[in-house]
Structure formats: C-alpha cells, structure tokens
C-alpha cells in the first residue's frame, strides 16, 4: 500500500492529490483546517505546460488500484 505522503498534494506540480487532516490552514490563528481532501482535475492527458507559471494542468495523482480498489473509477463517475 502506498503511504499517504506519496500522494500528498504538496508534492504535486499541479495541485492534485491527498490533503491530510490539518494539512491546510486558511486561518493563521489555527493549527490547521479540520478536513481531508483528494483533489483531482480533468483526467485527460494535458498538453505540455510551463509549470513555473503555476499551471494546474497535468496528470492526476491516484492511489494504486490494488491499494484502494475502485477509488479512481468511483471518483471519476462522481
């Protein structure tokens, strides 16, 4: 099973992947937000982009099918 940190959104160049509990903080007075998330974009192949400009285009980060059976298909169907 892939550890959640290998899917971490902060390792992605296009802001896709897993955000852990307390992994984001929208209020600097707090320790972190009380939510988890799995962010994805369009799952179509993206054209080459210059990520230095902060582009969000690119491939999604997915857990292995063996680790989370049906996750990708269910997420895309939703």
Residue 19 pairs in a beta bridge with 37
Whether the model clears a pTM of 0.75, i.e. scores above it, the answer is no
Q: How confident is the model at residue 47 (pLDDT cuts 50, 70, 90)?
A: low
Owning domain of residue 7: 1-47+56-78
31-38 mean pLDDT: 88
Q: Is the per-residue pLDDT at 6 higher than 70?
A: yes
15-18 contacts at long range (C-beta below 8 A, 24 or more positions apart)? 15/39, 15/41, 15/56, 16/40, 16/41, 16/56, 16/58, 16/59, 16/60, 16/61, 17/60, 17/61, 18/61
Structure tokens at 65: 């099918």
Number of domains composing the chain: 1
Q: Is the per-residue pLDDT at 11 higher than 90?
A: no
Q: How confident is the model at residue 27 (pLDDT cuts 50, 70, 90)?
A: confident
């Amino acid at each position: 099973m892939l550890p959640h940190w290998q899917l971490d959104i902060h390792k992605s160049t296009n802001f896709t992947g897993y955000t852990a509990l307390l992994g984001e903080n929208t209020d600097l007075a707090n320790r972190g937000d009380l939510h988890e998330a799995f962010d994805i974009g369009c799952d179509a192949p993206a054209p080459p982009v210059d990520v230095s400009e902060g582009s969000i285009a690119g491939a999604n980060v997915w857990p292995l099918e063996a680790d989370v059976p049906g996750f990708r298909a269910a997420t895309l169907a939703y």
